[in-house]
């Protein structure tokens, strides 16, 4: 004896089966896997955040299909650099303490004005550095050079203007 159902009853039965199978599939997945990844649109693909480990990947669709690649973790590089600098700092403090045992390396050094130039310590009787000014002869040579260069520049500009105008000024 064939079973005949109306199309509306058949639709309700199919929806009920689909809902119950979806619930069954959701129950078979471990709770730790639910919501593990968070996706955000970015450019041609997505950024994928692993909420368990904090790793970030870029996912793009190519001719071979979807592929995700790890994004370099700058935080790890920064932490490594901070650790290296702290080690170097401790080493330098130790070396400084070995040279001058009475020096306190934990105290901050006094601030100095970086724009103020330190005056050289000159004991009386020691020579001072003096920079001689150019002589009149040196100044005349320099002025002569500048005049010649200026005249050549003006002559060159005039030649270019004549060439552009076809020989007419």
Give residue-wise pLDDT tens across range 42-83: 888 888 988 888 888 889 988 888 888 888 777 778 888 899
pLDDT tier, 32 (very low <50, low <70, confident <90, very high otherwise): very low
| Angle CA 14–19–25, to nearest 5 | 125
Give residue-wise pLDDT tens across range 45-56: 888 988 888 888
Query: Average pLDDT for residues 1-22, to the nearest whole number?
Result: 55
Count CB neighbours of 101 within 10 A: 7
Domain limits, the chain: 33-72
Percent of the chain scored above 70 by pLDDT?
A: 63
pTM as predicted: 0.28
Contact 49, 56 (CB under 8 A): yes
Q: Among 14-23, 54-63, 92-101, which is the least confidently predicted range?
A: 14-23
Encode 74-96: b = buried (16+ Cβ within 10 Å), e = exposed: eeeeeeeeeeeeeeeeeeeeeee
Tally of CA atoms within 13 A in the half-sphere of 89 that contains its CB = 8
Q: Among 24-28, 39-43, 134-138, 142-146, which is the least confidently predicted range?
A: 24-28
Q: Among 20-34, 82-96, 137-151, which is the least confidently predicted range?
A: 20-34
Distance CA 102, CA 90 (A): 17
């Amino acid at each position: 004896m064939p079973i005949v159902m109306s199309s509306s009853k058949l639709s309700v039965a199919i929806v009920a089966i689909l809902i119950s199978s979806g619930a069954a599939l959701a129950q078979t997945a471990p709770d730790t896997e639910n919501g593990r990844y968070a996706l955000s649109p970015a450019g041609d693909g997505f950024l994928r955040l692993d909420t368990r480990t904090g790793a970030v990947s870029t996912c793009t669709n190519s001719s071979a299909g979807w592929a995700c690649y790890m994004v370099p973790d700058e935080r790890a590089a920064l932490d490594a650099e901070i650790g290296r600098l702290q080690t170097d700092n401790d080493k330098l403090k130790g070396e400084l303490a070995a040279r001058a045992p009475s020096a306190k390396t934990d105290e901050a050094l006094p601030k100095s004005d970086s724009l103020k130039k330190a005056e050289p310590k000159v004991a009386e009787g020691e020579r001072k550095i003096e920079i001689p000014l150019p002589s009149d002869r040196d100044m005349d040579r320099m002025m002569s050079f500048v005049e010649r260069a200026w005249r050549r520049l003006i002559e060159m500009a005039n030649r270019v203007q004549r060439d552009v105008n076809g020989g007419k000024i």
